[in-house]
Structure 1
Amino acid sequence: MSQNNTDQFFKSTVLGHPAGLFVLFFTEMWERFSFYGMRSLLILFLTTSFTDGGWGWTRENASALFGSYVGLVYLSTMLGGYFADKVIGFRWAVVVGAVLMTLGHASMAVETEFSIYLGLVLLVFGNGFFKPNMTSIVSEMYKDRPEKKDGAYTLFYMGVNAGAFFGILLCGYLGEKVGWSYGFGLAGIFMFFGMLQFWLSQNIFGDIGLKPNKESKARAEALDTDKRNPFSPLQLAAIAFSSIVALLWLVNDPAAKISGGKVNIFSFLGDNGNSIAILSALIVFIVLLVYRFTQYSKITKEKLIAVTFFAFLTIFFWAIFEQSPNSLTIFASDYTDRVLVGNWSVIFLVVNSLITVLPLVIITWVLILLFKQTFKLYAIANIILSISFVIIWAIAIWMLVKDYYTAGLLALSDETLQTLKIDKVTVPLTEVPATWFSTLNSLFIISLAPLFSKWWESKYNPSANLKYGIGMGLLALGMACVAFGANGIEPGAKTASVSMIWLILVYLFHTMGELCISPVGLSYVSKLVPARMIAFMFGVWYLAVAIGMKGAGMFGENIDKIANEHGLSYFFWMLTIISILVALFSILMTPVIKKLMHGVR
């Protein structure tokens, strides 16, 4: 097969798309299962008391580690993307990433101090190799069919959200209800299955994603006819300085807090060494970025400024949105009434059964369609994929049946109840896991994405600035809901019983905000940035996301301090106000940014 013509992939299709897309769909699904499944448990595990199997950390230390971990995940994508482009190719990068993540989850399942830290390091590098290269394979597969690309990414995005949903639902359930190691371990098992089925099916991609050779590099250079503006040795040194200091800071920040200052790489800079180091790195990078902009034509420079503006807004979006696995999960665990009694318990169990089983039925149907097209050529890969789904069905059914037993809706003998360690109840009663609320994001995305897609394609499609303004406004509305719900919690209170409706509303509004901002941002990078600079500006974009992720951790670090002094509601009102200010700033800047974009919508 030749990579120059991708029409060949459409000779045998599933739902109108190449079978290879669905190989990627399931691989990405299991990767997102593992990533979101582990992430949903991390803060809870770290802050749960020793007697309940956790580490008994303060929320400040847990948030510091969480913020650095997620920030490093996004920074590592630049390293993984570089190695894939220049050295090993997309396919090997995906496999290397999957192996590292499998080992990372296995390490975390051991639950010793060393194994947890080792697991996080392996997951950071694994995500870096895996994350940027799956979408690259999709893009290459549709190179000669651009009109089909939007539909392909929509299907691919469904795989992402299906994986996130089941990862949070099942890993979260096992972690909270059975044991932390089961939740961490399950994430690794399905990452391993995803890696195996990808590796055994890789010939379905033809020449796409193979290791770069002289011929392929020469062809890529020939296609890029834009004038180049190479980095000077001094500029490369500035990038190296900023990158190394930022990486050291991300590691040092939680290490210094967790160790009580005993571990501090930047102690030689004085008491404020941590702040001095990261500010120095940031200033050097901003100076370099501004200088680079001056080296291009007026139109190119102004488009780059527009991209940087949106990247700046993105920092605030992710810093507040990513409270989901952080302060919002703590709120769900400690301050929300998650016990449902009587009819409400029955309603929840029925709804939870439907939202668990129906997506599994749909994805299993897609799996059967894929089997029909590929089983003869890739029998072992299909068998492995089917085994993974048999396991996922078994765990899902076990979870639902156990919940019905626990609620007292299925009759069991006293001996069986004692064996299952379930107390006998006379009224239906269900305790909703704290991690369950995070699944709502994926459910709302799958439900609402088609509506937002239609909106963007209509004559009422808002401008870029207005989309960001609406997104940040919805983010503010979500935070206002939880702030209002937390209004009666006294300063210093460690527990409360706030209604679950407030958290459900948070995830509804935050998901709508995400649909306004997340898919739109990367689209503007590809539209506004010249081909020769796309890699550098994607690096800037992922840097902004990484800063936002670390910012989410830094916000979470202060939840106890603020809650003890002013009350928990005050913390969420602060995030609401920040969101409103950013929304207004985005809308007010519309005329300026519209001019800088030079007609790009």
Structure 2
Amino acid sequence: MSDQTEPSGASALRKPGEESGEESGSPVGRRQVPRDRAFFGHPLGLFTLFNTELWERFSYYGMRAILLFYLTDTVADGGLGLDDTLGTAMVAAYGTGVYLLSVIGGWLADRVIGARRSVLYGGIVIAAGHVSLTIPGAGFSYLGIMLVALGTGLLKPNVSSMVGELYSREDSRRDSAFSIFYMGINIGSLLAPILVGVARAIGGYHAGFAVAAVGMGIALVFFVLGRGLLGGAGDVAPNPLTPADRPAVTRTVLAILVGVLVALAIAWAVSGGFGATTFVDALSYLAFAAPVATLWVMFRSPKVTDHERSRLRAYVPLFVAAMLFWMIFEQAASTLAAYAENRTDLDVLGRTLSPEVFQSINPALIILLAPFFAWLWVRLDDRPPTAVKFAIGLTFAALSFVFLAGASAYFADEKSPPWVLGVVYLVQTVGELCLSPVGLAATTLLAPKAFRGQAMALWFLAPAAGNAITAQLVQVTEGASDTAYFGGIGLVALVFAGGMFAIAPWVTRHIRAGAESEKEAALQH
């Protein structure tokens, strides 16, 4: 990528140590965001956020790797004894809740406490949740799951938005920075299933959850000790509440409460009573409504300019493609975990694999392939355009399920060899590298200034909605064969991928129209 200058007509690159009040959404002179190149050509603040996210993801994916098995294992073996369909739906609903709560985390960071404190408080809540999971008893387990979801909602969108704050809008290192940041995520998620799986084999499920708790503790240490390297990034809420905002905030809170009650009422009417499935369904309805409401608020806000609305229009189809991609990809902890346990031959060279180890394949491949993709985008001068990258990513995700459907049909009367899931994860990983780091970077670039944290939360609402689709699908397709389930999803996703290719030129035109300088527009080749 070529060197880029500051937005809004500034004529020169910022020197290291110079702050950009416009980038942060805070007044000039309030803080000094570093622009140095000490960490692989990037600011040292990226080192702090890299390690924070690495260990937070270690804790998250470590817990997630064994969650389905814990929910569905017998009480005698240390599990909670749920049936397979409900357990799978609950894991998907848990994923929905994690990402759905990111809206709250993004709003609090934007309007009240800033990104840094949101990350800090979220990390503390996550740690408390993991500790609760180490205590035997269903009540402690459900409390721990809820705390981890709440804390992740506070932390996850704001770590990513702080990465974006380290760079000017036209800094050519932005995509590369998110690729490095993404590497940290995958180092953590590679190690987690392996180490947590070993702990579970030795000391049971609660020992595995204890390993996840230690990971979150390390993340907090890195974040607190590395604050000075951030140069104040995330310290200031970019769109702070004023007394005049209080009536609107009150109305919004009441609207959310009403929405939750309506979702519960609809779920109760559909299921005919209150139970675990009622809450799974209610979360699903909220996950579908949340991105629609968030985009509606952004489009109607007087703080959003015409240029920013053009970018938002371009973002809508990107969001839909991301939602469908994550609907497939996030099944690693649900349907693919069940496939690994029940439909895969785990005996390899005289040793028995643990089913959770398959969840380390994707991050291992990311670590191997991410440098190549980071080089590739630079080599291609960031071509193809963002929308085409999204379409390619969704295509690969769809093909992974089409392949798994064929494999499950071929091995209908026996268990699949381990390489089948290996191929599935390889194909999904290629798609992920086309879509996910690019999506993170595009979100920070396309977000309106007044909604930067909430726009990042909107990005995480894509997997929330994707998980919600899964939670519904596993219930309505109960009893369907693996071939029908995976094949149906894969073929429908392929159709949507074709539609994304078709409208890619329209998306690119709107991104260009919303650019704040000619050089920024030129990035969309």
Tell me what 2:313 maps to. Answer: 305
What displacement does 1:168 show? 1.7
Tell me what 1:31 maps to. Answer: 56
Tell me what 2:484 maps to. Answer: 570
Tell me what 2:466 maps to. Answer: 548
- Count the aligned residue pairs: 484
Tell me what 2:257 maps to. Answer: 244
In the alignment, the residues of structure 2 paired with residue 322 and residue 280 of structure 1 have an alpha-carbon distance, to the nearest angstrom, of 16
Does residue 430 of the first structure (1) align with residue 351 of the second (2)?
yes
The structure-2 alpha-carbon separation of the partners of 1:256 and 1:518, relative to structure 1 and needing over 3 Å to count, comes to: farther
Does residue 456 of the first structure (1) align with residue 468 of the second (2)?
no
Return the letter of the residue paired with 2:325: F
In the TM superposition, 1:487-498 aligns within 5 A as 487-488=409-410, 496-498=414-416
The structure-2 alpha-carbon separation of the partners of 1:95 and 1:247, relative to structure 1 and needing over 3 Å to count, comes to: same
Return the letter of the residue paired with 1:321: F
Tell me what 2:391 maps to. Answer: 469
The structure-2 alpha-carbon separation of the partners of 1:546 and 1:242, relative to structure 1 and needing over 3 Å to count, comes to: farther
In the alignment, the residues of structure 1 paired with residue 371 and residue 18 of structure 2 have an alpha-carbon distance, to the nearest angstrom, of 34
Aligned with 1:166 (options 191, 196, 215): 191
Aligned with 2:200 (options 162, 175, 190): 175
The structure-2 alpha-carbon separation of the partners of 1:26 and 1:255, relative to structure 1 and needing over 3 Å to count, comes to: farther
In the TM superposition, 1:274-285 aligns within 5 A as 285=293
Does residue 84 of the first structure (1) align with residue 5 of the second (2)?
no
In the TM superposition, 1:345-384 aligns within 5 A as 345=349
What displacement does 1:335 show? 0.7
The structure-2 alpha-carbon separation of the partners of 1:266 and 1:283, relative to structure 1 and needing over 3 Å to count, comes to: farther
The structure-2 alpha-carbon separation of the partners of 1:460 and 1:185, relative to structure 1 and needing over 3 Å to count, comes to: closer
What displacement does 1:37 show? 0.5
Does residue 579 of the first structure (1) align with residue 493 of the second (2)?
yes
Structure 2 unmatched ranges of 5 or more:
1-16, 20-28, 514-520
In the TM superposition, 1:145-544 aligns within 5 A as 146-176=171-201, 178-210=203-235, 212=236, 237=251, 240=253, 243-244=256-257, 247=260, 261-263=273-275, 285=293, 288=296, 292=300, 300-340=308-348, 345=349, 429-457=350-378, 458=380, 461-488=383-410, 496-544=414-462
The structure-2 alpha-carbon separation of the partners of 1:23 and 1:65, relative to structure 1 and needing over 3 Å to count, comes to: same
The structure-2 alpha-carbon separation of the partners of 1:182 and 1:203, relative to structure 1 and needing over 3 Å to count, comes to: same
Q: Is the 8 A contact 2:66 2:356 kept in 1?
A: yes
Q: Which moved more, 1:240-249 or 1:58-67?
A: 240-249
Tell me what 1:597 maps to. Answer: 511
Q: Is the 8 A contact 1:316 1:579 kept in 2?
A: yes
The structure-2 alpha-carbon separation of the partners of 1:444 and 1:244, relative to structure 1 and needing over 3 Å to count, comes to: farther
In the alignment, the residues of structure 2 paired with residue 531 and residue 482 of structure 1 have an alpha-carbon distance, to the nearest angstrom, of 42
Return the letter of the residue paired with 2:339: F
Tell me what 2:517 maps to. Answer: none
Q: Is the 8 A contact 2:126 2:216 kept in 1?
A: yes
Identical counterparts, % of pairs: 29
Q: Is the 8 A contact 1:68 1:251 kept in 2?
A: no
In the alignment, the residues of structure 2 paired with residue 323 and residue 86 of structure 1 have an alpha-carbon distance, to the nearest angstrom, of 33
Indicate the structure (1 or 2) with the bigger Cα radius of gyration.
1
Q: Is the 8 A contact 2:178 2:440 kept in 1?
A: no
Q: Is the 8 A contact 1:471 1:515 kept in 2?
A: yes
TM-score calculated relative to the size of structure 1:
0.70
What displacement does 1:447 show? 1.4
What displacement does 1:440 show? 1.0
Structure 1 unmatched ranges of 5 or more:
223-229, 268-272, 346-428
In the alignment, the residues of structure 1 paired with residue 254 and residue 364 of structure 2 have an alpha-carbon distance, to the nearest angstrom, of 42
Tell me what 2:7 maps to. Answer: none
In the alignment, the residues of structure 2 paired with residue 436 and residue 105 of structure 1 have an alpha-carbon distance, to the nearest angstrom, of 20
Aligned with 2:72 (options 47, 50, 60): 47
Q: Is the 8 A contact 1:243 1:281 kept in 2?
A: no
SS at match of 2:351: strand
TM-score calculated relative to the size of structure 2:
0.79
Tell me what 2:86 maps to. Answer: 61
